[in-house]
Amino acid sequence: RLRSADAFKGANGSSDIDQPEMHNPDGDASVLGDVSLNTIAWDYAPWLQRFGRQLMDRWHAPTAYLYGILKEGGWGVFEIEISKSGQILRLEKLEEQGHPSLIQAAQGALRSMPPIEPLPADFPEPTLILRIRMIYPKVRPQ
């Protein structure tokens, strides 16, 4: 399993990576490091933290990465649309960098998410659209 501190580097807003693909010109997206939301008109932090924990429980790096064979790391940017009831309506890979097995493992973790907790009753939009950059940091020499 990846450690969440490594996988979501910058999730607290301190990302030092230029991320133009995370911007959403069609909405009032808020970029929180490596997660972008289509709306911030709700108290999203508790729900998003639970979503993140559920995703991290399902995200397992390929063995070749864990053994340092894929030491360059990589990342994938995915857009996931979630209904108010917690159903995944759409999952799309937007960008990627790195070995295909890394990207497949990240996308597989997102696909295995259901059941997702329903959105709060006061959620203001028909669906929630998340853009998530899932990062495999470079393997540092021991």
* Strand 74-83 versus strand 30-32 pairing type: unpaired
Torsion angle (degrees, nearest 10) of CA 111, 7, 49, 86: -10
**Verdict on whether the full-model pTM lies above 0.85:** no
Q: If residue 100 lies in a helix (H) or strand (E), which one and from where to where?
A: helix 100-111
**Two structure tokens written together for 91:** 């999952």
Provide the residue count of the chain. 142
The residue-averaged pLDDT of 33-49 equals 73
Report residue 44's pLDDT band, with 50, 70 and 90 as the boundaries: confident
Of the ranges 21-25, 56-60, 105-109, 126-130, which one carries the lowest mean pLDDT score?
Answer: 21-25
Q: Note the pLDDT tens digit of each residue in 84-140.
A: 999 999 999 999 999 999 999 999 999 999 999 999 988 989 999 999 999 999 988
Q: If you ran DSSP here, which 8-state letter would residue 49 be given? A: H
pLDDT recorded at residue 100? 97
